[in-house]
């Protein structure tokens, strides 16, 4: 990340928690650029929401934020359009080989994805199991099915294999979630 | 706007430029909450994009941004879903009674709205003429039609009356742009 004077900053690497998900995030970012440049889909990551407390104006044209705080996002990180359809998702990385702890997803994110589904959109999570480097697509319907049928607080990887879709590693786009949507929501038509 | 310790901040009011559009923005925000609470549509404003240069961690749980800069957004401010359809727009207020200067819309915003239209979404602007308190819906197709057929750098209000749609003031939702979409894109069906 570069600030406006071009100095490289890496504030995220300071904080281990904030650093989680950066690789998957970078892969999705690269994929979204691929989709955009190849006119396949238009998907963007939303900016990180912050609350601004202090702003200075050292010059007429420039504002410098001097005090701000990270806010809890009310929605997911990504949304966009594919073949006219609204798509909406969040990306999560976990250090487990065997299961995805549901505490990684905020309740307001699930609520948001349910609303998207209800309104006819495609809502899902992209989840990467870091130690085995496997990335899955799991729809909100299937997440809710799991929550309804299980008392477990984490979703085992078997459930991803059965009810989710493995997103096979590629060079470009790196995380080809659109191919999953195309196959399972549009019958694989080009 | 309140920061996390509850102190009211009004950094936006410091800067006249940043202040433009705040009333329309508040009206749209209230409308979006109405749509969400009444399960009509799911539309959010994207957070303001910033580049963060310095972050402090006074405690384990809290991060304070100490230096950050506003970035030019790559897209529009609002997007969401209505009846399964992807919708995407920006809101602009102008002080003119007679015309809307096209310089109020960044080229990258037009480009983004064109991409949305091309992919089957509904892309538009909500434009308020402050002195006459009239708010219009104008689709990207009609904006492009104007640009193609005219050399003028501003769109006269007559064009809004002919090719756009007046969004009639209401108590709630205050800026009922969904009723326009429902009427003109879904044939007025409930």
- Determine, yes or no, domain membership for B53: no
pLDDT beyond 70 at B30:
yes
The span from the CA of A87 to the CA of A125, in Å, is: 11
Chosen from A68, A70, A123, A181 to mutate, greatest number of chain B CBs within 10 A = A68
- Determine, yes or no, domain membership for A54: no
In this prediction, residue B22 has a pLDDT band, given cuts at 50, 70 and 90, of: low
List the CATH number of the domain containing A153: 3.40.1350.10
Pick from B41, B42, B55: which is nearest to A14 by CB? B55
Q: Is A120 near chain B, with CB under 8 Å?
A: yes
The span from the CA of B190 to the CA of B177, in Å, is: 15
pLDDT beyond 90 at A85:
yes
Q: Could you tell me the residue range of the domain that residue B122 belongs to?
A: 11-47+73-185
Residue found by looking up tokens 């002919």 in the block: B162
pLDDT digits over B57-104, tens only?
887 778 999 999 998 888 999 999 999 999 999 999 999 999 999 999
- Determine, yes or no, domain membership for A64: no
Q: Report yes or no: A88 and A79 within 8 Å, Cβ to Cβ.
A: yes
Mean pLDDT of A146-155: 95
pLDDT beyond 90 at A145:
yes
Global model pTM greater than 0.90: no
A65:B64 CB<8 A:
no
Mean pLDDT of A71-90: 94
Distance from CA of A136 to the nearest CA of B (A): 24
- Determine, yes or no, domain membership for B89: yes
In this prediction, residue B9 has a pLDDT band, given cuts at 50, 70 and 90, of: very low
The per-residue pLDDT for B16 is 42
In this prediction, residue A190 has a pLDDT band, given cuts at 50, 70 and 90, of: low
- Determine, yes or no, domain membership for B56: no
Distance from CA of A72 to the nearest CA of B (A): 11
More confident residue, B14 or A140: A140
ipTM of the complex: 0.84
The per-residue pLDDT for B62 is 83
A-proximal residues of B, 37-56, CB under 8 Å:
39, 41-42, 44, 46-55
Which H/E stretch holds residue A54? Answer: strand A50-56
A-proximal residues of B, 72-101, CB under 8 Å:
73-75, 79-86, 88
Q: Is A132 near chain B, with CB under 8 Å?
A: no
- Determine, yes or no, domain membership for A5: no
pLDDT digits over B111-167, tens only?
999 999 999 999 999 999 999 999 999 999 999 999 999 999 999 999 999 999 999
- Determine, yes or no, domain membership for A98: yes
pLDDT beyond 60 at B12:
no
Chosen from B1, B6, B10, B11 to mutate, greatest number of chain A CBs within 10 A = B11
More confident residue, A141 or A8: A141
Residue in chain A closest to B60 (alpha carbons) equals A15
The per-residue pLDDT for B8 is 39
- Determine, yes or no, domain membership for B67: no
The per-residue pLDDT for A22 is 53
Let me know how many helices (H) and strands (E) chain B has, helices first. 7, 10
Contact residues for B113 (Cβ-Cβ < 8 A; gap 6+): B76, B88, B89, B90, B123, B124, B125, B140, B143
pLDDT digits over A20-72, tens only?
445 999 999 999 999 999 999 999 999 989 999 999 988 877 899 999 999 88
Mean pLDDT of A2-21: 39
The per-residue pLDDT for A146 is 97
Distance from CA of A157 to the nearest CA of B (A): 30
DSSP one-letter code for A21: T
The per-residue pLDDT for B189 is 62
How many A-B residue pairs are in contact by the CB < 8 A criterion? 155
Structural domains of chain B, count: 1
Q: Is A108 near chain B, with CB under 8 Å?
A: no
The per-residue pLDDT for B61 is 75
In chain B, beta strands by DSSP E: 42-45, 50-56, 64-70, 78-82, 85-94, 99-101, 122-129, 134-139, 154-156, 165-166
Q: Is A181 near chain B, with CB under 8 Å?
A: no
Q: Is A113 near chain B, with CB under 8 Å?
A: no
The per-residue pLDDT for B87 is 98
Contact residues for A180 (Cβ-Cβ < 8 A; gap 6+): A137, A165, A167
Q: Is B170 near chain A, with CB under 8 Å?
A: no
């Amino acid at each position: 990340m570069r600030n406006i004077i071009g100095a490289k900053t890496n504030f995220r690497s300071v904080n281990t928690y904030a650093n989680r998900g950066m690789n998957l995030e970078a892969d999705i970012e690269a994929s979204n650029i691929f989709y955009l440049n190849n006119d396949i889909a238009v998907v963007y990551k939303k900016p990180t929401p912050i609350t601004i407390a202090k702003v200075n104006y050292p010059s007429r044209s420039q504002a410098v934020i001097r005090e701000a705080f990270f806010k809890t996002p009310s929605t997911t990180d990504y949304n966009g359009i594919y073949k006219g359809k609204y798509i909406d998702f969040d990306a999560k990385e976990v250090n487990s080989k065997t299961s995805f702890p549901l505490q990684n997803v905020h309740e307001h994110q699930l609520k948001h994805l349910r609303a998207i589904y209800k309104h006819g959109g495609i809502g899902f999570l992209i989840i990467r199991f870091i130690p085995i480097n496997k990335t899955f697509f799991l729809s909100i319907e299937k997440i809710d099915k799991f929550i309804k049928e299980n008392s477990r607080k984490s979703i085992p990887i078997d459930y991803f294999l059965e009810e989710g879709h493995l997103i096979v590693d590629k060079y470009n786009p790196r995380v080809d979630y659109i191919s999953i949507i195309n196959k399972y929501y549009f019958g694989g038509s080009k």
